[in-house]
Chains A and B, each alone.
Chain A
Amino acid sequence: MDDLLQILLNGLSVGAVYALFALGYTLVFSVLGVINFAHGAIFTLGAYFTYLLIGGGVGSNGLLAGFQLPVALPFWLALPIAGLLSGAVALGVERVAFRPLRKRNADPLLALITSLGAGVILVNLIQLLMGAESHSIPTGSLGSLPAALSFGGARIRTVQVLLLAVSTVLVGLLTAWIDGTRSGKGLQAVSEDPVTAQLLGINSGQMIQIAFGLSGFLAGIAGGLVGLSVSIAGPYFGIGYGIKGLGVLVLGGLGSVPGAVLGGLIIGLAEALVPSDLSGYKDAVAFGFLFLMLLVRPQGLLGKPLPNKV
Chain B
Amino acid sequence: MAPRRLQRLGPWLALLAAGLGLTACSDPSANQPINLAQGVPVGAVLALTGNANVYGQDQRTGLNLALAAINGSGGINGKPMALRLEDGGSDEPAANAAFTLQINRGVLALVGPTLSQQAFSADPIAQRRGVPVVAPSNTATGIPQIGHFISRVSAQSSVIAPLSIGKALALQPSIKRAAVFFAQDDAYSTAETVIFQKALTAKGLKPVTVQRTQLNDQDFQNQITAALQQKPDLIVLSLQAMDGGNLIRQLRELGYTGMIVVGNGMNTPNIYPICQRYCDGILIAQAYSPELATPANRAFLKAFQANQGGASATPPQLTAQAFTALQVVGEALKRLDAKTPLTTLTVAQARTALMAEILKGQYQTPLGTINFTPEGEVIQKQFFVAQVKMNPDGRAGRFALLP
Contact = CB atoms under 8 A, between A and B. Distances in A.
A271 B222 CA distance: 9
A241 B351 CA distance: 45
A231 B211 contact: no
A139 B273 CA distance: 10
A227 B116 CA distance: 28
A276 B227 contact: yes
A64 interface: no
27 contacts: A3-B229, A10-B225, A60-B57, A132-B49, A133-B53, A133-B54, A133-B57, A134-B54, A134-B270, A138-B276, A138-B394, A139-B276, A139-B277, A148-B255, A154-B225, A157-B253, A230-B218, A230-B219, A230-B250, A231-B245, A234-B49, A234-B53, A277-B210, A277-B226, A278-B212, A279-B222, A280-B185
A141 to B, nearest CB: 11
Contacts of A3: 229
Interface string B69-81: 0000000000000
Contact of A134 (B210, B226, B255, B273): B273
Given A277-B212, A280-B185, A10 B221 contact: yes
Interface in A140-195: 140, 147-148, 154-158, 160
Interface of A: 3, 6, 10, 13-14, 17, 60-61, 127, 132-136, 138-140, 147-148, 154-158, 160, 226, 229-231, 233-234, 236, 240, 271-272, 274, 276-283
Nearest to A146: B253
Q: Chain B contact residues (Cβ within 8 angstroms of A): what range?
A: 35 or more
A171 B1 CA distance: 53
Interface string B4-29: 00000000000000000000000000
Nearest to B241: A134
A276 B254 CA distance: 16
A11 B274 CA distance: 24
Contact of B214 (A132, A136, A147, A283): A283
Given A139-B394, A148-B254, A155-B254, A280 B274 contact: no
Given A10-B225, A61-B53, A280-B185, 17 more contacts: A6-B225, A134-B242, A147-B252, A147-B254, A154-B225, A155-B254, A157-B250, A230-B218, A233-B51, A233-B242, A234-B50, A271-B222, A274-B222, A277-B209, A277-B212, A277-B226, A283-B214
Nearest to A160: B221
A113 to B, nearest CB: 22
B218 A234 contact: no
Contact of A231 (B48, B229, B246): B246
A17 B225 CA distance: 19
A4 to B, nearest CB: 12
A114 B57 CA distance: 33
A56 B226 CA distance: 33
Contacts of A136: 273-274, 276
B249 A14 contact: no
Given A276-B211, A278-B212, A132 B221 contact: no
A274 to B, nearest CB: 7
A230 B21 CA distance: 46
Interface of B: 48-51, 53-54, 57, 183-185, 209-214, 216, 218-219, 221-223, 225-229, 242, 245-246, 249-250, 252-255, 270, 273-274, 276-278, 394-395
A267 to B, nearest CB: 13
Contacts of A281: 212
A140 B246 CA distance: 15
Contacts of A135: 273
B48 A132 contact: yes
B57 A61 contact: yes
Contacts of A6: 225
B246 A230 contact: yes
B219 A276 contact: no
Majority secondary structure of chain A interface residues (helix, strand, loop or mixed): helix
Contacts of B184: 280
A10 B229 CA distance: 14
Nearest to A276: B226
Given A139-B277, A233-B218, A132 B254 contact: no
A127 B242 contact: no
A65 to B, nearest CB: 11
A13 B51 CA distance: 24
A132 B223 contact: no
A62 B343 CA distance: 39
A280 B394 CA distance: 30
Contacts of B249: 139, 231
Contacts of A17: 219
Given A14-B221, A138-B276, A276-B223, A148 B211 contact: no
Task: Give the interface centre of B51, B184, B218, B274 by most chain A CB atoms within 10 Å.
Answer: B218
A156 B221 contact: yes
A139 B213 contact: no
B133 to A, nearest CB: 24
Contacts of B183: 280
A231 B218 CA distance: 8
A17 B218 CA distance: 12
